Amino acid sequence: MTEITAFTVKEALQALETGQVSSLELTKAYLERIQRLEPALHAFITLTPDAALAGAKAADERRAQLKKAGAALPPLLGLPLAVKDVLCVKDVRTTCGSKILENFKPPFNATSVQKLLNAGVVVLGKTNTDEFAMGSSTENSAYGVTHNPWDTERVPGGSSGGSAAAVAACFAPAALGTDTGGSVRQPASFCGVTGIKPTYGRVSRYGLIAYGSSLDSVGVLGRSAEDVETIFRLMAGFDPRDATSLDRPVDEPGCAGAADLKGLRVGVPKEYFIEGIQPEVEARVREAIQVLAAQGAQIVEISLPHTSYALPVYYLIAPAEASANLARYDGVRFGLREENNGVIDMFMKSRGKGFGPEVKRRIMLGTYALSAGYYDAYYGQAQKVRTLIKADFEEAFKSVDVVAAPIAPTTAFKIGGHGDDPLAMYLEDVFTLPANLAGVPGLAFPVGFDAQKLPVGMQLMGRPFEERTLFRAAHVYQQATDFHKQTPAI
């Protein structure tokens, strides 16, 4: 029998339904595993074992009552879940990986979290993240780095590295992440798990502590396309508290009943297979595309001509938005307040001490790009080029249904491998940034390993609000392969 901590969401829900396990047993099993292995991985910033056990017990009682009454059960009743520490969970410390929010306990739940609590989940704790989700390795967390379960000397990716590591290490059957420029997909790729970055506006950002508001999205990481879709669908939908959430019904699941890919046109953009990409990454992605073809998909070479501009455009727009969003950490309303000699001194000391070096770099870059003399040359120009990147996708989606591409140029790199070179770290994001700039959905899933047995991922990007098509394709792929079923030996 599979160990219960290795269950997929689907298996866990079936086991809860048949009474094979209770939520309390399942939650205890995860907490024990976390206690044993967390020192080697550090996937969490905050664990909430007492609340989780109480929640699990309540879920078991509720199940018994509802069953007795013959009433319908909430779809995820009793399912343990990990949550990235940039999403507000009521009364649970939410740090964003930053010292400035070390003692911040939000008085409310993020809408994404609330919807899943309504569906019955039990929160195990808050996972590690680069400070304010700025990074690609989790090394920028003020609470220490997370280690990749496949090789603990390597990074898990970032910024949702704690969530990806937690799922890969079987600390939880699924975890919430966020993706502003690749932070769900790249760690999913580095840790060999499946993850969705939804269309901008599909999942409410209310209660997601803002980084780049025109780019931020809340996503899910899990062990299969099917699992990720189940949770994604329960989070999706209109929220009057997020002005950019769209009032549009949630699609029927794409995985259910998907048997082949006949009629699906898969575009392969030549700009994503460039010099500098690790040969094994390219090889695994091309093999995976062949699997899609064998399932009936038609493969078409396409061009997304402005791809190479995504990096400079993103690294102007994201820091610009960050500099505005992070202005609220001033020591006045919440967060760190240092001893001071007056208000200006308070701002300087609190922000100076509370923010780490990467966050300070971005605030300075962003403030510069927005400043009166440079706005047109940098921020304004970046917005124009962003439109061209979006137009590339619109053009491509006239002739193909999905775009298949690598996620990162390499597999997981060594902790400290990029030294103090911010540019080397930014280059990790070349293949993930375009989807955020264009607002389109992207689904990451494992497609094999390199020679060192490190996972390689691939992403499928789709038309806005067509997550369903991505899930369908990945599900068919996962029926034909078993890379997503492999787990690291830790």
Question: Which residues form the interface with ligand GLN (CB under 6 A)?
Answer: 133-136, 159, 179-183, 211, 318, 429
Ordered alpha helix ranges (H), 216-262: 225-235
Question: What strand order describes the sheet that includes 442-449?
Answer: 44-47, 122-127, 80-84, 174-178, 218-222, 194-197, 442-449, 455-462, 402-406, 265-269, 298-302
* Residue placing its CB nearer to ligand GLN in the complex, 55 or 182: 182
Name the one residue in this structure whose structure tokens are 């609330």. 114
- 67 contact partners, CB below 8 Å, separation of at least 6: 73
* Closer by beta carbon to ligand GLN, 338 or else 358: 358
CB of 186 to ligand GLN, least distance (A): 7
Nearer to ligand GLN, 8 or 159 (CB): 159
Comparing CB distances to ligand GLN, the nearer of 133 and 302 is: 133
CB within 8 Å of 222: residues ≥ 6 apart: 8, 9, 167, 173, 174, 175, 193, 194, 195, 228, 231
Q: How far apart are CB 446 and ligand GLN at their closest, in Å? A: 19
Q: Tell me if residue 4 falls in helix, strand or coil.
A: helix
Instruction: Please state the closest distance from residue 404 (CB atom) to ligand GLN, in A.
Output: 20
CB of 331 to ligand GLN, least distance (A): 25
Distance CA 249, CA 25 (A): 36
Residue 316: name the closest of 366, 390, 380 by CA: 366
Written as one string, the DSSP assignment of 104-149 is ---SS--HHHHHHHHTT-EEEEEE--SGGG--SSSTT-TT-PPPBT
* Set 183, 204, 224, 245: catalytic member: 183
Closer to ligand GLN at the Cβ: 135 or 446? Answer: 135
What's the CA gap between 236 and 227, in Å, rounded? 15
Least spacing, CB of residue 217 vs ligand GLN, in Å = 9
Q: Is 165 helix (H, G, I), strand (E, B) or coil?
A: helix
Least distance (Å) between residue 279 CB and ligand GLN = 24
With the C-alpha atoms ordered 282, 286, 292, 297, is the resulting torsion angle positive or negative? positive
Place of tokens 């939410």: 94
3-state percent helix, strand, coil for the chain, nearest multiple of 5: 45, 15, 40
For ligand GLN, the closer CB: 197 or 233: 197
From the list 22, 23, 28, 84, the catalytic residue is: 84
Work out how close the CB of 166 gets to ligand GLN at its nearest, in angstroms, rounded to a whole number.
17
Burial of 422 (0-12, 13-18, 19+ CB in 10 A): middle
Nearest CA among 94, 458, 446, 61 for reference residue 285: 458
Question: Judged by CB, which is closer to ligand GLN: 9, or 86?
Answer: 86
In the annotation, is 197 catalytic? no
Is position 183 annotated as part of the catalytic site? yes
Provide, rounded to whole angstroms, the least separation between the CB of residue 50 and ligand GLN: 30
Complex with ligand GLN: residue 350 or 432, whichever CB lies closer: 432
Rounded Cα–Cα distance for residues 109 and 227 (Å): 23
Helices 279-294 + 467-480 axis angle, to 10: 90
Residue tagged active-site, from 23, 98, 141, 159 = 159
CB 291 within 8 A of CB 480: yes
The token pair that represents 204 in the structure block: 């409410």
**214 carries an active-site annotation:** no
Task: Give me the active site residues, please.
Answer: 84, 159, 183
